[in-house]
Amino acid sequence: MAYRVCFVCTGNICRSPMAESVFRARVAEAGLEALVEVDSAGTGSWHEGEPADPRTVSVLDEHGYDGDHIARQFQPSWFSRLDLVIALDTGHLKALRRLAPTEEEARKVRLLRSYDPAADDDLDVPDPYYGQRGGFEECLVMVEAASAGLLTAVREELGGGVA
């Protein structure tokens, strides 16, 4: 059975699809595609059915990541099939933990930047939506920095011996 990770931001068109794409690439580089499933969603339905923000797609493409994506809203029923729910900021963390049907499922929710040992006290990935393209580049740097630590944590969950 695959280990399932879902990244969650507000509308599922900027930060979470970026994190999904970067982490999927890390999983593939590690040869773990058969063992780890990667997904993303938003806390709200505003952009459901839409592609990722063009600035997200542009930044991903420029850095060699896949930008294909269709936004959707996170559903509380998903907790039962997910192993890890990765929030992109503390607002998402709180909202997701409130949505969780049980305490055990609420413990599945973690902040992405908590996996970056170099992150400062502010573990939020800022929302680039209302800013310029540079904010999307900054978001990518934060996502990439946290992805290595997240991959290490997922490997440990898979049994540590996974090469």
- Catalytic residue selected from 14, 15, 139, 155: 15
3-state helix, strand, coil in the chain (%, to 5): 45, 15, 40
Q: Is 127 one of the catalytic residues?
A: yes
Q: Are 119 and 113 in contact (CB under 8 A)?
A: yes
Q: Residue 90 and residue 25: Cα distance in Å, rounded?
A: 25
User: Which two three-digit tokens encode residue 42?
Assistant: 């938003």
- Catalytic residue selected from 9, 39, 53, 139: 9
Q: Is 55 one of the catalytic residues?
A: no
Q: Is 110 one of the catalytic residues?
A: no
- Catalytic residue selected from 4, 66, 83, 127: 127
Q: Residue 47 and residue 156: Cα distance in Å, rounded?
A: 34
Q: Residue 161 and residue 137: Cα distance in Å, rounded?
A: 34
Q: Residue 150 and residue 19: Cα distance in Å, rounded?
A: 11
User: Which residues are catalytic, by number?
Assistant: 9, 15, 127
